Copies of this chain bind each other. A is one copy, B any other.
Amino acid sequence: MSIKPLADRVVVKAAAAESTTKSGIIIPDTAKEKPQRGEVVAVGAGKTADNGTAIKPEVQVGDQVLYGKWSGTEITIDGEDYLIMQEKDIFAVL
């Protein structure tokens, strides 16, 4: 997929409603504030620190991640919906 997020942004494919991950994590997306699960499909080059040094992103394409319920902005690529968000909106890699 030919999209290059800028700086510390990450493109995530949201997981289907409720599904269990390999490592057994259940994310009932109906729960109000519960974090959501998804897969990383594109990662930016990373943020620039205050003194100009590049800060490498921690996530990689293919990672299953937990992110904040209201994080990111919706985009459509080849008819598929994705979310583009900043890495700081991602809680953890599962």
The interface of chain A, by Cβ under 8 A from chain B, is 1-7, 9, 11, 23-28, 31, 33-35, 42, 44-45, 48-55, 58-59, 66, 68, 73-79, 84, 87-88, 90-94
Contacts and interface: CB of A to CB of B under 8 A. Distances in A.
A77 B25 contact: yes
Given A23-B3, A35-B84, A50 B51 contact: yes
Contact of A78 (B24, B59, B68): B24
A93 B49 contact: no
Copies of this chain present: 7
Contacts of A34: 73-76
Contacts of A23: 1-3, 77-78
A87 to B, nearest CB: 7
B6 A90 contact: yes
